[in-house]
Amino acid sequence: MIFRQLFDRESSTYSYLLAERPGGEALLIDPVLENTNTYVRLIEELGLELVLAVDTHIHADHVTALGALRDRTDCASAMGEMTKAECVSVRFREGEKLCVDNLHLDILYTPGHTDDSYSFLLPDRVFTGDTLLIRGTGRTDFQNGDAAAQYDSLFGKLLTLPEDTLVFPAHDYNGMTVSTIGEEKRHNPRLQAADKQAYVDLMNGLKLDDPRLMDVAVPANRSCGLKTAA
């Protein structure tokens, strides 16, 4: 498998390039608009054909490259069936798979950070978007966020995966690049809440500023980053 973790310094976003083999089809998860040239160059250098670009959810902190990549490479753009983005060419749902050549990612619906949050699973790793971060979890105070739903996504789905499953989140602000399910179960402070109500109280007690780009990014991302809000 070809696997590249790409980092956007401005928004601390991780994007992931995946392919089964050199010269084959490629998938890009959570691409950032400003880095489009970097992705296109890397895909060319690796001899890959980008067939699918996908967002785990509508991001509030950066503008997606889904539209730009579709224009540049003719790839399909995909988001989950719960998304309010009008521009995607493929809408997926839990139980389906994202496929490039013989690489098949299982789709899990993991709402809570937003109501359109999905995670993608390979046998040895999971891409958790902003549902599960390294030593954290995504905020639940806007975009139809719901701390109780996030608790269910975490404890009912992601944390039931084998403990050695690698965790690749959509962001990290502390220099961490990868974790595991077992490591997060033991050391993620948010996951030590005694029960669902304690988790909801913890999340609802966070007083966070809105992301700097939120008023621009959310409307822009509903159109795959091709238009910016007035």
The reply on whether position 115 binds Fe ion by CB under 5 A is no
Tokens 């067939």 -> residue:
51
Closer to Fe ion by CB, 20 or 172: give it. Answer: 172
Stretch that binds Fe ion, among 42-50, 55-63, 186-194, 207-215 (CB under 5 A): 55-63
- Pick the stretch among 129-137, 147-155, 172-180, 203-211 that binds Fe ion (CB under 5 A): 129-137
Instruction: Point out which span in 123-131, 182-190, 203-211, 221-229 binds Fe ion (CB under 5 A).
Output: 123-131
Residue 184 CA to residue 197 CA, distance in Å, equals 20
We find the least distance from the C-beta atom of residue 113 to Fe ion, in angstroms, to be: 6
Decide: 31 and 66 in contact? Cβ < 8 Å.
yes
Q: Which is nearer to Fe ion, 130 or 146 (CB)?
A: 130
Phi-psi region of 27 (alpha: psi -120 to 50; beta: other; left: phi over 0): beta
Distance between CA atoms of residues 27 and 108, nearest Å: 17
CA torsion sign for 181, 123, 147, 144 is positive
Residue 199's nearest CA partner among 110, 136, 142, 120 is 136
Taking the complex as a whole, the smallest distance from the CB of residue 173 to Fe ion amounts, in Å, to 13
Interaction mask 159-198, Fe ion, x per CB under 5 A: ----------------------------------------
DSSP reduced 3-state for 138: coil
Q: Is 130 in the site for Fe ion (CB under 5 A)?
A: yes
